[in-house]
Structure 1
Amino acid sequence: MYLWDRYRRVLGRVLPRLLAWLGALVVIALVFAGQPLFAGIVTVLAAVMLWWQGRGSATPTAGAALVAMVVALGMKPAVDDLRTAVAVLIAVALILVQPRVDRAIRPRVRAVLLGGTRPPLARLSTPMLVASCLSAVTIALRASGLIGEPVTIVVVVLVAAAGGLLAAAHLVRVRRRVDAKEVRAALAAYAPRYAVYYSGPDEGAYQLQLWLGLLARSGAKGVLIVREPSFLPIAAAVSELPVVYAESVEAIEFLLVPGLTTVFYVNNEARNADMVRYPALRHVHLGHGDSEKPSSYAAFTAIYDQIFVAGPAGAQRYADHGVLIPAEKFVVIGRPQLVGALHRNSGVGKPPTVLYAPTWRGSITDMQLSSLDHGAAIVNALLAAGATVIFRPHPLSYRDATSRVLIRQVDELLAAAGGAHRGSSQASALTAFECMNQSTAMIADNSSLVPDYLFTDKPFVLCLPAVTAPVARTPLSEAAIPLVLGSDPSEAVARLLGPDELAAKRAAVRAYYLGESALSENLATFDAAVSAALEAKA
């Protein structure tokens, strides 16, 4: 199982390709063994699988394998007439051109949840894929002797003609930008005042969920713009706003309708620059959590007109790291997500329940702050101390092969210990705030969970890689029990579960990180900041 946890993403990509070529070899072997019926059945199954898996993207490997199957069937001794040979050639040509053609006719702008937009032409977004699969099935039926050569050539020609005509109609729409113009017209009629912009991995929906409901408090109409086609259905599932996919900068221009004044950004992805390039709009960086990570003082953030931060720490952090941004760009809004979601003093007098919440393993050196490599040692120390453990790794951890193995190791420790411990699957079914509410203390890495946990008045351990000396000098770390990764965690665990020695220090830095409005549990500061941001630029 460890091998599956580590390599499942790779296997998920490789196995379909291996199966496709294995199917081709089986068909070839069956043809030369004189079993055309079984060879035809395998080819039909392969065509169905190609259609099912290739509806959203090109599948050149599977297509090439299907070509091999069709050619093998065309070489069957009984299939030697000219008409069938022509049908085989047409089928092969369809399969070979399908990825390129269907990619060329893909709409550059698409919308869901937006009234006034029409469905794609004929509801068939990949006509050449369908034509390729149907032609392969027809050749398989001919090789199996179930249909004659006149029917074969007629069906293949009709299928190819229909696919080609539909593809041509789609191409005309794309070249004339019909879909983009329709979306623009519907968006102009809807008249959004603001847009929320997202580019990033499919696992990043939580970044949007932090803000969509809060922005809706403004009462203004909004639209969600996404840049990755695979994220479009995910965005539609988490958003009540209309969702528009824009493939390119040119496509974005169709979305800049009159009345749109402001764009909000939930991360610092490089493709954000495609939208920030339009100076008539006000560009506001929201982020998706405040922490001492390098991402919370990235120089890239300077491109925005406004930078919403929870407390003064969010602005000062940039200057402390030599990133010079004009002070007027920063807007202190508090931490509105905490209001009504987190409880304070809920850990007093309860049995020790510790939330262990490691962050994800960054892909670059200064973001490699995860304690997952030491997770088993940390959890063993908690179990030895008699604590109940809630284990909630960062959602992005599941993208990494090594992290999946480490998560499984911790889960097995908790399962073997018995009791009321919650492993990763149970904890991931809860929100991070729900896990915080159920805990009496926390062990976490340098992430946004740590400043948020200040709100609860409960103690926490901050895991520090030995190379992150600057983090160890922040006001936040002074309010935490430090745990240098690689050292024995037992001492830190004992301090965490013992008398609360850092309550006063946590109280002293709480407003610095979360803002006064978060402590008073009101949203007036945030609402006022959004209202001002929605005003058109002078």
Structure 2
Amino acid sequence: MPPLLPPLRSAARALPLGLLVVALTVQAAAAVEPHLVLLIVATAAVLCAEAALHRWLPGQVTLLARVRADTMVRRLACDLLLLVGMIRMPGERSEAVYLPLVLGLLLFYALHLATHAAAIRVRQSRTLPLLTRNIDASALRITPAPRALLTRRHGPRLILFGLPLTAGLLVTATNDRPQYAAMGIAVSVGLAAVSLGTLARCLLRRGPATPDEVQEWFDAWLADYRPTVGMYFSGGASSAYQANMWLDALASLDGRPVILLRERFMMQRIGATDLPVICLPKVSQLLRLEQSSLKMLIHPANSGRTSQVLRVPTIKHAFVNHGESDKLSSCNPYAKAYDEVWVAGPAARERYALADVGVRDGDVVEIGRPQLAPIAPYAGPPTGPYTTVLYAPTWEGWDGNPGNTSVVLAGENIVRELLADPGVRLLYKPHPMTGSVDPRAGAADARIQELIHAANRARPGPRPAPGAAAELARRTAELDALTASAFRPDADDAERMLAQGTPEPGRAAAVDAATAAWEAAHWASLPEGEHQIVTSDRPALYACFNAADLLISDVSSVVSDYLAGEKPYAVANTGALSDAEFREAFPTVSAATVLTPDAAGVPALLASVRDPGGDGLAPARADLKLRLLGPSDPPSAVRFADAARELCRAADTHRRRMEERLLPGIPAQRRAEAAKPAREP
């Protein structure tokens, strides 16, 4: 039977909104037919529901705003209903006495509107046309941001500043003394007036540099730094890992690397690096790069905004992808838009040729996978009391193919078979997008995690060595000190840009060393034999590779990367293909044990991994590694650097040809077009 946890979570998410609707309805009834107790209880329930929505369910707050039921409308309705109910209560209540209260209430909301307008203007004045990291921005006159409660959280501000007003009205409703309501309104009006005055001072003093000044400053920096190579990345909030895996490889290139982004939120999602990071949100800013020294860009992913940078004719572009698998997404037709497609090994070259998507074989360059250097080589069968198995399924994908992920049809069976073996330690690392498209995948993931928790409860094992927890805490503190943001809670993008100026020398290397120390402390701190669910950024996937004796996964780039260590692995076949068809369709499966949805082959798989003579697939894995990742000599990092130099030479040659053209007006036209403000698509 499916666990009750997902339905309970859904009910918990709906509770505040339901409470708000019921409370407002009861409050209206208590105002029309005066009932003091119901009026007080309903008002308190409205306040609690509002606080819960803003604290835990901001998506529902946005949804209400879209149907014109935003925070101000709801709070005004609540206070007016309270005022009406208070006036209609039995007793000698003069409406003339309560008229000033109505006017005071309206004054408070008028000040709130004025404050909201001033906050919008302040945010606009502090929204720079571009953002940077690891570049000294002190010349831009950036000052600390005002309190976020004043500029970016108008809903919580209204609730907080309106509390004295609502409390005063409630007290007056109970004892018919208008002075309490007047006192509460006066306090709320005072808070609103102070916040408005604070924002007005921000508008009157000289703010950050103007857009033209920022662009002039950035052009001067480009002319001084003279970048030659870079990485271009655009994507959603959960896709930053695709760029982060290329940071070290980019930093190792000759020249002056730079990272170009398009989304402002991505600035803080890019990992630790000493390289300059630049966010250029507008197309017009990208087109100005034609006048820069930038020669080539690598692209870890395709996105809708990629086509915009491809319009710059002086820059050469290489698609490097964020992982290779036998899926169709690894030979996307969009790849033909790039000057070159850099792949790991011969298998990817063959994949593009078979897919016939318009990528010429001469544009495919084999560079290996430079980020796989940290993966440890196979050292033979496990020698300890436990065999560590990493189950790392991929997500369900966009096309609805049941063979994309094993989580739905086979995940629970695989995990049950693994947990049934007392000599197995399971590491379960689902894809971060599991359940984002198909709810069944999310539900299966929740059931798998519950199976693992239950197995750990029934399997108390020996505790880690004394002091291991303290060592992990120390390493965690060291790593957090290097990677955690040091920003004020109220800091905005402009203030973060100022704070993230010129980096300390060697910071990225220090983060790498601290990460390695943390990973060692993490594994040492775990109870021997305890199963683990890994859903956070730490430990990283490659650290799990090194801890595992066996991988069970799906047809995905995880398999290709894992083969760098030549360890045994298995792939789940949950589609409609037979075993022979499955192996023929997906070359990465040729050196794997194939598991059916019932996971009946798991015991035999574990036996072969533990038996020194039972692993008959080792030669096949070595051959497949060569086919997927290319040769080890020269190393992938060297081949990556050579490919970058060759593409830079091609860019230089192209520029010379353009300068020698018989039609010199074409470059001049391009410069004129780049100077024009571009319309956002």
Q: Please, what TM-score do these two structures have when normalized by structure 1? A: 0.80
Residue 431 in structure 1 maps to residue 540 in structure 2: yes
CA offset at residue 481 of structure 1?
A: 1.7
Matched, 1:472 2:472: no
Residues in 2 aligned to 1:103 and 1:12: alpha-carbon distance in whole angstroms: 34
Distance 1:205 1:414, change over 3 A: same
Structure 1 residues 232-282: Cα deviation after superposition (integer angstroms, max 9, x where no partner): 3222x5443333333343454466662222222112233322322322211
Q: Percent of pairs identical after alignment?
A: 23
In structure 2, the CA distance between the partners of 1:412 and 1:148, relative to structure 1 (3 Å rule), is closer
Quick one: structure 1 residues 99 and 57, their matched pair in 2 at CA, closer, same or farther if it must change by over 3 Å?
Answer: farther
The question of 1:456 aligning with 2:565 is answered yes
Alignment of 1:211-226 (within 5 A): 211-226=246-261
> 1:67/1:466 Cα in 2 relative to 1: closer, same or farther (>3 Å)?
closer
Q: Which amino acid aligns with 1:292?
A: D
Task: Work out which of the residue numbers 145, 165, 189 in structure 2 matches 1:123.
Answer: 145
Counterpart among 418, 424, 427 of residue 390 in structure 1: 427
Question: Where in structure 1 are there 5+ consecutive unaligned residues?
Answer: none
- After superposition, what is the alpha-carbon deviation per residue over 1:321-367, rounded to whole angstroms, capped at 9, x for unaligned? 22231122211111222224322334365653322221112122358
1:513-524 alignment, distance < 5 Å: 513-517=628-632, 523-524=637-638
Return the alpha-carbon distance in structure 1 between the equivalents of residues 188 and 332 of structure 2.
Answer: 62
CA distance in 1, matches of 2:284, 2:52: 34
Q: Distance in 2 between matches of 1:293 and 1:156?
A: 57
Q: Secondary structure at the match of 1:513?
A: helix
Where in structure 2 are the equivalents of 1:399-410 lying within 5 Å?
Answer: 399=436, 401-410=439-448
Which runs of structure 2 are paired with 1:498-509 in the superposition (5 Å)?
A: 499-509=614-624
- Measure the CA separation in 2 of the matches of 1:170 and 1:262: 39
Query: 2:23·2:42 contact (CA, 8 Å) conserved in 1?
Result: no
CA drift of 1:516 comes to: 0.5
Q: Supply the AA of the counterpart residue of 1:216.
A: A
SS in 1 for 2:397: coil
Is 1:201 equivalent to 2:256 in the alignment? no
- Secondary structure of the 1:406 match is helix
Whether the 8 Å contact between 2:123 and 2:151 is mirrored in structure 1 is no
> For the structure 1 residues 516 and 151, does the alpha-carbon distance in structure 2 shift closer, same or farther, using more than 3 Å as the test?
closer
1:64 to 60, 65, 70: 70
Residue identity in the other structure for 1:231: M
Stretch deviating more after TM superposition (339-348 or 16-25): 16-25
Distance 2:213 2:49 in 1: 35
Higher alpha-carbon deviation: 107-116 or 290-299: 107-116
Once the 2 structures are TM-superposed, how far is the Cα of residue 399 of structure 1 from its aligned partner?
4.4
Matched residue type, 1:457: E
Query: Judging changes above 3 Å, is the alpha-carbon distance between structure 1 residues 258 and 440 closer, same or farther for their aligned structure 2 residues?
Result: same
- Is the CA contact (8 Å cut-off) linking 1:47 and 1:137 kept in structure 2? no
What's 2:642 paired with? 528
> How far apart in 2 are the matches of 1:18 and 1:163?
35
Partner residue in 1 for 2:315: 281
- Give the aligned partner of residue 91 of structure 2: none
Q: After the TM superposition, which residues 40-439 of structure 1 pair with which residues of structure 2 at under 5 Å, given as runs?
A: 59=62, 61=64, 64-73=70-79, 76=83, 77=87, 79-81=98-100, 83-84=103-104, 86-88=106-108, 90-91=110-111, 93-94=113-114, 106-116=127-137, 118=140, 123-124=145-146, 129=152, 140-142=163-165, 144=168, 145=181, 147=183, 163=199, 182-235=217-270, 237-253=271-287, 258-347=292-381, 352-366=387-401, 369-373=404-408, 374-385=410-421, 386-397=423-434, 399=436, 401-417=439-455, 418=459, 420-425=529-534, 429-439=538-548
2:663 maps to: none
Instruction: For 2:98 and 2:412, locate their aligned partners in 1 and report how far apart those are by CA, in whole Å.
Output: 63
Distance 1:453 1:44, change over 3 A: closer
1:318 is displaced (CA, Å) by 1.1
- The 3-state SS of whatever aligns with 1:268 is coil
- Aligned pair count reads 534
Compared CA separation, residues 366 and 121, structure 1 to 2 (3 A): farther
Unaligned runs of 5+ in 2: 88-96, 169-180, 462-528, 655-681
> Could you list the per-position Cα deviations for residues 298-338 of structure 1 after superposition, in whole angstroms to 9, with x for gaps in the alignment?
11111111211111111110111222311222111112222
Moved more, 443-452 or 83-92: 83-92
Q: Of the two structures, which has the highest relative contact order with CA contacts closer than 8 Å and spacing of 6 or more?
A: 2
Contact kept? 1:71, 1:92, Cα under 8 Å: no
Aligned equivalents of 1:300, 1:197: Cα separation in 2: 16
SS of alignment partner, residue 278 of structure 2: strand
2:321 and 2:243 map into 1 onto residues whose CA distance is: 10
Q: Do the aligned partners of 1:95 and 1:132 also contact (CA within 8 Å) in 2?
A: no
The change in CA–CA distance for 1:302 and 1:317 in structure 2 (over 3 A counts) is same
- Give how far 1:533 is off: 3.4
| Distance verdict in 2 for CA 1:26–1:466, change over 3 Å | same
For residue 74 of structure 1, report the CA deviation from its aligned partner.
5.1
Structure 1 pair 393–531 and aligned structure 2 pair: CA distance change class (3 A): same
Look up the equivalent residue of 1:388 and give its one-letter code: R
Q: How does 1:2-21 map to 2 (within 5 A)?
A: 2=3, 4-5=5-6
Q: How far apart in 2 are the matches of 1:349 and 1:413?
A: 27
**Counterpart for residue 517 of structure 2:** none
Quickly say closer, same or farther: Cα 1:324–1:152, change in 2 above 3 A. closer
Q: Secondary structure at the match of 2:416?
A: helix
**Contact 2:141/2:208, CA 8 A, preserved across alignment:** no
- CA distance in 2 between partners of 1:120 and 1:55 (Å): 29
Change (3 A) 1:496 1:166: farther
Look up the SS of the partner of 2:434 in the other structure.
Answer: helix
What per-residue deviation string (whole Å, max 9, x for no partner) do you get for residues 380-407 of structure 1?
Answer: 2234454332222223326465434323
SS of residue in 1 equivalent to 2:292: coil
